[in-house]
Structure 1
């Protein structure tokens, strides 16, 4: 198993470097562009929520996001770790098909990013470890 970790400031300016960091690992593993894009989109959505909502709600001006990656012959696991307010994205309501068929101005606010995160990886889970939020994204190598 190959493990790597890197720390980024919890700032919108970090989204591109986080994407680049994850994309390079995907390239090494031989992921196609669609799979890489889906994983990066999922990570982008959750990281954006951490940056825009999690740390401000915690009263923290600038926090950090740790990006941990581990892979083996079967899967790549990417974990985003932050110390913002506790937030389980899996407990949040996401838009359903009826919501998605409504005009944009009539759709309920929120949840679309979480839906995108869940739909673009093989497995998405959340864990709270002490004072840390851990958002875990798993992509199967062969899917």
Structure 2
């Protein structure tokens, strides 16, 4: 599957979602795994666009690529925004889940849903780039 490079703007989210959906189809993921992958990719991409580019006044792109082997689909999202490790925000979101419902803020659980919606999630900073890696195990026998 070819890679995808899009501008770091909200108008790119449709192309990003389509790319994730096509990757899931190529890998033979079922509906639930496909949906979870697309949700996770959209959440990570939205955070990069809103918090990494728009709110900081920066411009940039998102580079997406897919690797599929016998065991898993790995989808890579790279950007040049400020360093941001999603696991730091995940800790805050996990604490919010344990609060009584009336004390929880509205929203704010996107990273939690994204990271827990795939089988593995990795973050790394390479030079001036953030790299988010979402991994979904393939159904056995594929």
Q: TM-score if structure 1 supplies the norm length? A: 0.87
Aligned to 2:38: 40
| Aligned with residue 133 of structure 2, among 132, 136, 140 | 136
Alpha-carbon distance between aligned partners in 2 of 1:44 and 1:120, rounded to the nearest angstrom: 12
Moved more, 28-37 or 49-58: 49-58
Moved more, 8-17 or 79-88: 8-17
| Aligned with residue 77 of structure 1, among 57, 74, 79 | 74
How far apart are 1:73 and its partner, in Å?
1.0
State how 1:8-47 maps to structure 2 within 5 Å.
Answer: 8-47=6-45
How far apart are 1:67 and its partner, in Å?
0.4
Aligned partners of 1:127 and 1:134 also within 8 Å? yes
Unaligned runs of 5+ in 2: none
State how 1:91-130 maps to structure 2 within 5 Å.
Answer: 91-92=88-89, 93-96=92-95, 97-99=97-99, 101-103=100-102, 106-108=103-105, 111-130=108-127
Aligned pair count reads 137
Unaligned runs of 5+ in 1: none
